[in-house]
Amino acid sequence: KNQYWPTGVPGDVILDHFQDKNVADIDVLQRETFGNKWHVFCMKEPDHVRQIMSTFGTTEEVDGAETKRHYTDSNGQTNIIEFRYREPFANYFKYKNVVMEHAKMRYSPISIEKTWKTNYWPDRNFAWFLAITEVNTNLARSYFGDDKELTQLEFRKALAQEMIYNNLPEQKEDGSTADGRRVRPKHVDHELVMAPPYTGRWIATKNEWHKVTSKYLQQRCAKHTIGCKKRTRTYCKCTPGQFFCAEHYAEHVVECDLSSTR
């Protein structure tokens, strides 16, 4: 976080583009990922370029979003510029405190995301969604409910108790539940591994790799059917011969885990 430019955002190019711009100047960079269009809205601040990635918003000025900036020009003179925020930046400054307060509740006093030391990608995502849902539920309970307000830690303890001592149907030895539903195995080992040198496709009938003359033959990502143009030599060990780039390997893991819980 805060170390690298996100995929699809040419950060250094943007900084160069705004090098000679004036404070409060804006520009927009349109991008597209797998057919989905999105934008990088940029605004020149006195000491940096503010960038917002969004699929929503225009460059129209927003009534009531008046603001100003103090800055020092090249002659060392202090100046003040008054202007109105454009829509994406008006929304950002209007609602950022709400987001920050939400994050404060997630991280205080104990953060699920930070204390759960796991590198398993689905678990890391689950920790984030659980924390978000936990805060939203507690806020909704406080706003709509008649019960006394609970701190986030008090609410978490109550939630944990209900999750542990729940009313879900017990699983029998044959893998079915009391109402007759079958339960599929929930864990599948996933690991992104490199194909051996001098190999091409996987021959499932022989349980071996097809030998080729090229030492590092690259294959199309399995998600080329939805627009991925990357070529790679990595595959998931649960499905030899089905090649995935790093981005779509993550999607593959999530899809497998979701299908195993249905």
pLDDT of residue 1: 47
Other C-beta atoms lying within 10 Å of the C-beta of residue 5: 12
The band of 260, judged by pLDDT with boundaries at 50, 70 and 90, is low
Average pLDDT, the chain: 85
Q: Phi and psi of 89, rounded to 5°?
A: -75, -30
- Is the pLDDT at 148 greater than 50, yes or no? yes
- Mean pLDDT value of segment 89-102: 93
pLDDT of residue 108: 78
**Cα–Cα distance measured from residue 35 to residue 50, given in angstroms and rounded to the nearest whole number:** 26
For every residue of 24-59, DSSP letters joined together read: T-EEEEEEEETTEEEEEEEEE-SSSEEEEEESS--S
The band of 171, judged by pLDDT with boundaries at 50, 70 and 90, is low
E strand spans, the chain: 26-33, 36-44, 49-54, 61-72, 78-86, 192-194, 199-203, 208-211, 219-220, 231-232, 234-236
- Is the pLDDT at 54 greater than 50, yes or no? yes
Q: Which of 102-106, 180-184, 204-208, 245-249 has the lowest mean pLDDT?
A: 180-184
**Cα–Cα distance measured from residue 141 to residue 152, given in angstroms and rounded to the nearest whole number:** 11
The band of 111, judged by pLDDT with boundaries at 50, 70 and 90, is confident
- Mean pLDDT value of segment 192-220: 90
Residue 163, exposed/middle/buried by CB under 10 A (0-12, 13-18, 19+)?
A: exposed
- Mean pLDDT value of segment 175-197: 66
| Interstrand relation of 26-33 and 36-44 (parallel, antiparallel or unpaired) | antiparallel
Q: What share of the chain is helix, strand, coil (3-state, %, to 5)?
A: 35, 25, 40
pLDDT of residue 112: 84
177, 171 contact by CB (below 8 A): yes
- Is the pLDDT at 124 greater than 80, yes or no? yes
Other C-beta atoms lying within 10 Å of the C-beta of residue 39: 18
Instruction: Name which residue leads in pLDDT, 114 or 46.
Output: 46
61, 24 contact by CB (below 8 A): no
**Cα–Cα distance measured from residue 142 to residue 90, given in angstroms and rounded to the nearest whole number:** 28
**Cα–Cα distance measured from residue 230 to residue 16, given in angstroms and rounded to the nearest whole number:** 28
- The helix/strand count (H/E) of the chain reads as 6, 11
Residue type, 213: T
Tokens of 238: 């649960």
- CA 143 from centroid of its chain's CA atoms: 28
Q: What is residue 211's DSSP assignment?
A: E
